Each structure stands twice: as structure tokens, then as C-alpha cells.
Amino acid sequence: MASSLLMNQALGSRNAALSFGLNVRRPGAGTYTRLVFGFDRNVFMPLMDLSERTQRWISPEATVISNYLPMRSLEVKNRTSVDDIKSLRLITAIKTPYLPDGRFDLEAHDSLMHMQIVNGVEGVIVGGTTGEGHLMGWDEHIMLIGHTVNCFGTSIKVIGNTGSNSTREAIHASEQGFAVGMHAALHINPYYGKTSSQGLVSHFENVLSMGPTIIYNVPSRTGQDIPPSIIYMVSQNPNMVGVKECVGNNRIKEYTDEGMVIWSGNDNECHDSRWTYGANGVISVVSNLVPGLMHDLMFRGKNPSLNSKLMPLIDWLFCEPNPIGLNTALAQLGAIRPVFRLPYVPLPLERRIEFVGMVEAIGRENFVGDKDVQVLDDDDFILVGRY
């Protein structure tokens, strides 16, 4: 009986190690023998002589596996300063591609990320409006942030959209995002269930405590403007990086005159925002399609000719709410599968035909992917409501 009790205790102490497929022996243990339990479960236990039964039982030590984890989240989190994020000029709000069953297509995601990096994009927003973070559960949202960091975090800054209209959710998501290694967070003001001015200040003060943060002002989506008075109050926080501003260039100039870091959130205004109104750069949708041209627009000085050349494409992208146009375009370029998570649906056929003409006018070589652009039929698209 005593031998059986000792064996059961020892077996329980090794459950965690066995889940890793390890053979663990405590220092000083005797010869190993194999005990076989059903379903091919192999457990190694030390033989004990009768004298060992009378000895005091020693609790086993935890197994230490050197360098087992692929990353140490605190090191990833802490190596990025606010100034590192402030230096970025071109940030892409990256599209999230899907498989036919609605799950993430990580192979296509990685391909899109690679094309951003080789074309000089410095940062990406993961799970933002363009990336359809609002159509994700938090578990898959954080997984995508972590996957992007693990695969590309040494080559590009990964900014996770962990904003919410619930301060509790925003805090929790930001904790998780920084734990998996994101370099900064993007936070929107509470939407739908709008709050007061003091509520906005309290919300942002709480989320700013998590780490480097960009505040996102887009009243057309939230139904509430974040006025400069609020931004000035929270800008004293050491984790405040800057603002993605969608109100317009006059608002941008008001901030830049005060020395604040601002990114334009409007592709159709970003050239002038950068070179006339003092913006740091742009957080862009169109750079999903033409990252190299957008790099030229942000880095090579005023270029009204290039800006004008891109304007028909930009107008086309936003003829319906983003990301409907982008999803349609990337599918026709063959860069992603033609899969939409509802409630998004592709642009109508006449718009899809227009896009092919725009690609030919700008030059296929300037767009992502290596397949010929094509007009997809309605039946080519897959619309997913349950995933």
C-alpha cells in the first residue's frame, strides 16, 4: 500500500512534464523502469528498495526548460520606446485575409506583411477598422497580433488595435497585446455608448498606463469628436505617442503647431498633411495596394503629380465604407481569397470593372501580388456569416 501511494504521488507530480513529452528524473533517483498505461502513455518511474519506503517523502521540483518559450513578452514590450513609434512615417492599416470557412488565412496574411516590409512600410495596425477587428473575438484578435509580432516584429513595428467602448475591455486587451509583444496600442474613444468629456479623459488615462499608445479620432465612425482640449490634457502622459486624426488638415495643423505628433487618417489628404500641415505621416489604407508609391509620397518630398495619379484609386476605395473596396481589390489582384466576413460584401460588378482599368493606368507592377488583375464574378465571392 505504501509503495502504491508513493507511486501515485510521484505520477501526479510529473503531469506537467509529461504533457511536454519529457522524461524527468529527480536528482538522486534510482534506475528507471517503464510503466505502461493505456493509449500508449509511457511513464518512467524510479525503482525503490524497501529502505526508501521508510524515508521522508520529498516533494518533486518543478521542471525547468531552458529557453523553452519562443519569446519573452516583457523584453519585447519594453524594448520599444515612445520615440521609436513617433519616428514612423508610413503605417499600413493591414487587411486581414480569410479562408473559405471564415478563419484567418495566415499564409496570405504573411504574404501581405512581406510585401509591406519590402516596400518600405515602417509599421502596421493589426485588427483595426481595415483589418476588421470589430468582426473578431478577442482570442483570435490577440492571436493575430502575437503571430504578426513573432513573424515580423524585428522588421516592422506592430501596433495592435486594442481599443473598445468598454474601458475594462480596452485595458484587458492592451495587457494581452503587450504581453504577446506588440510595440504600441491604437485606442479609439468609446463609441455608441458615448461618454462625457471627463469620461474621455478617464478612459484614455486608464488605457495609456498600459504602454505606448496612439489615439484614434474618427467621428464619422464613433459619433463623437475628441476635441483638442481632451488631447492636450492626456498628451502629458509619458505613454502618449500621438494621434491618428481624421477630422482634417486644419485640425492637424492646430496640433502640429503645438509640437504634437500626428498621422493623417485620410489617404486623400495625407500628401498635403505631410508636406504642408506638418503631419508625421499617414496611417494608410491604400498602402495595402500600392505600398511603394505611398512610401514615395511620404518620404520623397512634395509630389502633387503622384498624389493626383493616386486620387482616382483612393476615391474608388472609399466609394463604400472601408474595407469593402480594399477587400474587393485585393481579391481581384489575387493577393487574397475572395472571402468576406459579413456584413461586408464585395463592390458591384461595374465597380470591379473600374478597378481593372485603374490598375492598368497606374501600372500592375506598382500593386501587391504577382498575378494578373481580373474581374471576379459574383459567384466567385464567398460570404461567411458563421465562423
Collapsing DSSP to helix, strand or coil, 119 comes out as coil
Q: End-to-end alpha-carbon separation of the chain, Å?
A: 52
244 tagged catalytic: yes
77 tagged catalytic: no
Three cell numbers, residue 341 = 466576413
Q: What's the sign of the alpha-carbon dihedral 102, 104, 107, 113?
A: positive
* Candidates 95, 98, 216, 255; catalytic one: 216
Pairwise CA distance, residues 376 & 387, whole Å: 23
On whether the CB atoms of residues 384 and 102 are closer than 8 A, the answer is yes
Pairwise CA distance, residues 12 & 22, whole Å: 14
Residue 234, H or E segment: helix 228-234
Three cell numbers, residue 215 = 489615439
Strand partners, 32: 46
On whether the CB atoms of residues 236 and 208 are closer than 8 A, the answer is no
Phi and psi of 370, rounded to 5°? Answer: -130, 15
For every residue of 45-105, DSSP letters joined together read EE---HHHHTSPP-PPPPP--TT-SS--HHHHHHT--HHHHHT--EEEE----B-TTSSB-
> Which residue in 122, 95, 128, 89 sits closest to 110, CA to CA?
95
Phi and psi of 222, rounded to 5°? Answer: -90, -25
Q: How far is CA 321 from the centre of its chain?
A: 21
* Candidates 77, 95, 157, 244; catalytic one: 244
As annotated, the active-site residues are 216, 244
